[in-house]
Amino acid sequence: MHSPVEQFTIKALYALSLFGYDISFTNSSLFMVFAVLLSSGLLFFAMRPASIIPGRLQCIAEMMYEFVANILDSNVGKEGKPYFPFVFTLFLFILFSNLLGLIPYSYTVTSQIIVTFAMAFTIFIGVTLIGLFKHGLHFFSFFVPPGASKPLIPLLVLIEVISYLIRPVSLSVRLFANMLAGHTMLKVFAGLAVMMSGAGGIMVAGSALPLIAIIGLTGLELLVALLQAYVFTILTCMYLNDALHLH
């Protein structure tokens, strides 16, 4: 019997190395490529021809665009416009990675902590640099809550700094843990169904129960896949807003 977490194993498909590091093209890399090509390809062909009155596919493309544009606009405002392509790419990458991962025998890129952490950390560094460039040293006033009483300031600044530094961790772990837990749960129920059907007797009939549970869980995971892409995007926008507008 396979372990429920064996699905997360990285398998090299084509061995490569660079400066002594192993950068083999793996099953994970393959699905990153799929996510990027599928998302940009789908949107690209949905807009051919780009007509004033949209067809079905164009409607989907426009809805995705406006969904992300609205998140960015409502959280950041006008100053967020230059960052739209990045936020849109981020949303599509996570969304398509999550959704592709739900296909049986595929690989869930976002179930890897290093992938989610790399994205979250890049956002964290980028947002901090944007804040520093825009506000200079005034940026550090972000860590002093407005209207705080003087003796409390050192404590509050400490709390604010810690909560700021924890952002990349919480952002990455949220996505990673949701994907890991969801896919593990699906495999646990699948394993249960196989075990019960192998046990014989009344257990064979009972093995229908975990199968039904898998159907429900797949629906739930579909929701989680969409929701987590949304949450990651909206938090990125909030962090960007903090950097651009401080409080």
User: Which spans of this chain sit near another protein (rule: CB under 8 A)?
Assistant: 3-6, 8-10, 12, 16, 18, 21-26, 28-29, 32-33, 35-36, 39-40, 43-44, 47, 50-52, 54, 58, 61-62, 65-66, 84-86, 88-89, 92-93, 111-115, 118-119, 170, 173-174, 176-178, 180-182, 184-185, 224, 227-228, 231, 234-235, 238
Shortest Å, Cβ 22 to another protein: 6
Count of other CB atoms within 10 angstroms of residue 168: 21
Nearest residue to 68 via CA among 50, 47, 94, 42: 94
For another protein, the closer of residues 53 and 137 by Cβ is 53
Distance CA 74, CA 66 (A): 12
For another protein, the closer of residues 146 and 151 by Cβ is 146
Nearest residue to 29 via CA among 10, 4, 8, 9: 10
Shortest Å, Cβ 230 to another protein: 9
For another protein, the closer of residues 132 and 231 by Cβ is 231
Distance CA 34, CA 98 (A): 12
The DSSP result for 16-39, as a single string, is: -EETTEE--EEHHHHHHHHHHHHH
Shortest Å, Cβ 151 to another protein: 26
For another protein, the closer of residues 159 and 205 by Cβ is 159
Nearest residue to 109 via CA among 36, 181, 32, 33: 32
